[in-house]
Amino acid sequence: MRYLKCWAEILMCCAVALTTAAEPLFEKPRTFRQHKMLLLNMMQAIQSGDIEKMEAICRKAVEVMPDDATWHYNLACALAHRADKSKALDMLERAIELGFRNVEAIEQDSDLKQLKGEIRFNELLRKARDMRDKPVPGVPQLKPPTIVMGLPFEINPSNTVWNMDAGCFQSHFNLMPPSQADARSNTYNGPVTEKIRGWLKNGEASGNGGDLYMNRDRGHSMLQTTDFPLMTPVRYCQAAVDAGVDSNLPNTIFDYPLIGNCSMAMTQGAFWRSLPRAAMVDQFAAITQSRLYLLNQLWVYPEHKDYDVEKGDLFPANAPFFTVSQGSSFADQPLVRAFAAAMAALPPETKKMLIRERILAPNLQMLLRYSSHRLREPSQYLSGAAHPVVFSAEDINVTNLVEMAHALRVEDALPPVALRVVREDQAVAGVDYFDRLPEALFNTPVCIARMFRSRAYERRMRIEAQAPVAGEATYKWVLLQGNPAKVQIKELDARGSRVELTVAWHGWYRPLSADGTPARLMSSRVDIGCFLKGEKYCSAPSIVSVYCDPAEQRLYSEGRVVSIDYNNPDKHYSDPALAVLKPWKDLFVYNDAGKLRGWYRKLGDRGDRFTFAGHRVLTTDAHDRPVRACAVDYLPRHSGAAGTLPLMTYADSSEVFIYHYSSDKDLIGKFTPER
């Protein structure tokens, strides 16, 4: 199977998956929404080993996307598992014709081992080899234009394709400097004007030639690119505007570095939110934003009521792959202008290296945080002071940022740390928690986000850190936000490349600032940062965030849950995209050894009893122990009333279990299905 095995490769690689002529280019994101859901179902089917489900999903995907080579390849793999060799080979041939011509991947894929002894399989390998560099029939060929730096570039079907693997458009063009580029150095009119003009005149700074700028709020909060000579603004053709792909979160990969902003938010309805929060509750959107960050794109968005005293800090993660500004419309402009100035101030050799190695955006993030007014001294970089989830205009020391950018040498620049979850506690839906979504919000190389759903007091994760540097890298792990008494960072080797993180339930709390004083805003999130240690600097942060639902009121005793009131007794804002409101309270009971017996549930005037396995008790014995119990289905239901949110409900399923006990003292027992 292609999608799961190569997910890390997909995140970092941007090999073009050309768009066919069957569907208009700018309609592709709509198809991709279906593709995402099919991909999620496919991941679950592969994890469970359900071959029939895998085949059904692949057939549906081929029906929805008849010209997608990878889904045809996945169907070939599913058919090979079912030993349907002839049809599997037919589908493999169709995948090759549609553009899947990675001979090495086909040869090494264990899912196709049933086919490897077939003569036709070897013939198809030769066909893939022969067609590797040939165009796919029916696919329009790109015509990348040449654009003079500083003049607008238009995204249109002649220079742009849709990459289904990345879930992004890819736009290709060549930038050419104007004939008299040097004469423009004295027209720079951005921040720290005189210094940058002097550096440009002496050839000591890069300027903004080769930098792109994109606005995705349809001109609402536009950067004045003429203040940054030779910066190239990117615009959309009318077909893209008509299709609505020109606004909201970014969706395009370029061959050049880009700074962008979008001063928009969802202001109406129950799912109101800023764009950063919207990305954090959609794992595919988070992955896309992380990908763009690692391809030299830096995006700025306002927090728009997601980080205010009234409701507190509503962000479920602290993601460094974009920068969030305090405020609403136009609050993004100070950060956008500061980043553009820093890009102009970079020494030419340093900037070339940063772009080539795709670490420009992380190093600009690092410089923004080192230069911040929030730091009294450089050592505070390894504290929460330098890494807030939201930056205010008062935080930005633009002169310091520009000077640090100009002083950045090749040997001082650092890549971000890539994080990977090796092992973590697994909670069981319907037993440990009752939401439809899992605890994993998203996994990206620079940010891992989890939601604390399990009733357990602590959540453990084992994380591996890696960075592409010569020699052995050393990593520094720091608690950026959270109660130190409730967070443990246990390094498993001397370099900090492997750690075990233990985070206890925090709930809705007031974090402490770096100086030990209470923070201005309440929060329900814990942030743990990982940094690559260099000789002069530490890298931009990679962050593990653990989020608690503010609506839940929990009581623990000696590490065991006593009660959970899900009914939002304190009326804190709870993100409806992350958790469905559950109008009940659970009270937990244990045996003398401290082992969970089950729980009692109060829902209005109704009371139910559940076993340790989450079964609702139907009958009990003389010792008040469950004898018959049934499995329970949890489903969100909407009343239909305008402006209301769904409530989680539960109903008995048809599965009934009989509980057996080893003795009169056994209060927990074991269960078997009723026959």
The helix/strand/coil state of 222 is: coil
Instruction: Report d(CA 361, CA 357) in Å as an integer.
Output: 11
Instruction: Report d(CA 328, CA 307) in Å as an integer.
Output: 11
pLDDT along the chain (675 residues), means of 10: 38 38 79 85 84 91 89 92 87 92 89 88 92 80 89 94 88 90 73 96 96 97 96 96 96 97 94 96 94 98 96 97 96 98 98 98 98 94 96 96 98 97 95 94 97 97 93 94 97 97 97 85 97 96 98 96 94 95 96 96 95 98 96 90 87 97 96 94
User: What pLDDT sits at residue 47?
Assistant: 78
The contacts of residue 176 (CB under 8 Å, 6+ apart) are: 146, 147, 148, 149
Tokens 């022969």 correspond to 130
Cα separations (Å) of 218 from 8, 226, 289?
33, 18, 20
Which residues on adjacent β-strands are paired with residue 599? 588, 610
Structure pTM? 0.90
- Give the count of beta carbons closer than 10 Å to the beta carbon of residue 159: 18
Instruction: Report d(CA 425, CA 416) in Å as an integer.
Output: 26
Q: How many residues does the chain have?
A: 675
Q: What angle separates helix 360-370 from helix 398-407, to the nearest 10 degrees?
A: 130
The helix/strand/coil state of 183 is: helix
Structural domains of the chain sorted by starting position, each given as residue range(s) with its CATH number in brackets: 2-131 (1.25.40.10), 192-412 (no CATH), 418-548 (2.60.40), 555-673 (no CATH)
* pLDDT tens figures, 424-433: 999 999 999 9
Which residues on adjacent β-strands are paired with residue 553? 565
Instruction: Report d(CA 216, CA 281) in Å as an integer.
Output: 20
User: What pLDDT sits at residue 509?
Assistant: 96
Report phi then psi at 605, rounded to 5: -90, 0
Instruction: Give a three-class secondary structure readout of 56-81.
Output: HHHHHHHHHCCCCHHHHHHHHHHHHH
Expressed in percent and rounded to 5, the helix, strand and coil fractions of the chain are 30, 25, 45
Tokens 């989450």 correspond to 614
Q: Per DSSP, which regions of 593-661 are E strands?
A: 596-603, 606-611, 616-620, 626-637, 647-660
Which residues on adjacent β-strands are paired with residue 565? 553, 585
